[in-house]
Chains A and B, each alone.
Chain A
Amino acid sequence: AQSVTQLDSQVPVFEEAPVELRCNYSSSVSVYLFWYVQYPNQGLQLLLKYLSGSTLVKGINGFEAEFNKSQTSFHLRKPSVHISDTAEYFCAVSDLTSGTYKYIFGTGTRLKVLA
């Protein structure tokens, strides 16, 4: 069965520093990948998605992610974070070959941006 691993439960980083949030999924022939952000006391909103094509995907708020099929990874990056980026980030996958229509989420990474 498909699974998603976000190894870092919490990532503290200083303002204006770069950040990388890691996401790995179990191998599959064909997957769609997503990053969502959840600000405190809110629902989730889409940051970016990989469906096909270019492996470097750009999203909102200056975030980008790179799809690496050989390493089954989809790490999220931002070159310079702001205080307002403090939130929880979730990686998710939909597996087109699983025979189901489920979305699988990781356990989340809490990004804390420090002044």
Chain B
Amino acid sequence: EAQVTQNPRYLITVTGKKLTVTCSQNMNHEYMSWYRQDPGLGLRQIYYSMNVEVTDKGDVPEGYKVSRKEKRNFPLILESPSPNQTSLYFCASSLAYPNEQFFGPGTRLTVL
């Protein structure tokens, strides 16, 4: 089944404790992206990747890191999480920009 998977689905952590949210797609898509969803703000793009080893900032990149060492994986790293990063995070992939995106199920992160 073609899909985008994210892990973990739920995470509660404390300020400053490094964490990684994994994202994987099995559709051989070139483009991958991370979004955060907050009430009243919709989805905001954090980082995107056009292909392996090619990443760029979205609209809200502060406090996040990404890497794209393999085509199928695009992990999101929070090196020192803060409470304002409490949010619902979505990974998405697309065959190529600017085509439609396929979204993962989401990761609900709470930073205390």
Contacts and interface: CB of A to CB of B under 8 A. Distances in A.
A7 B48 CA distance: 27
A93 to B, nearest CB: 9
Would you call the interface of chain A mostly helix, strand, loop, or mixed?
strand
B67 to A, nearest CB: 17
Q: Most A CB atoms within 10 A — which of B31, B90, B97? A: B97
Nearest to B104: A43
B100 A90 contact: no
B93 to A, nearest CB: 12
A9 to B, nearest CB: 7
B103 A101 contact: no
Chain B interface size band reads: 20 to 34
Nearest to A4: B42
Contacts of B40: 9, 107
A84 interface: no
Contacts of A43: 4, 90, 103-106
B101 A103 contact: yes
B59 interface: yes
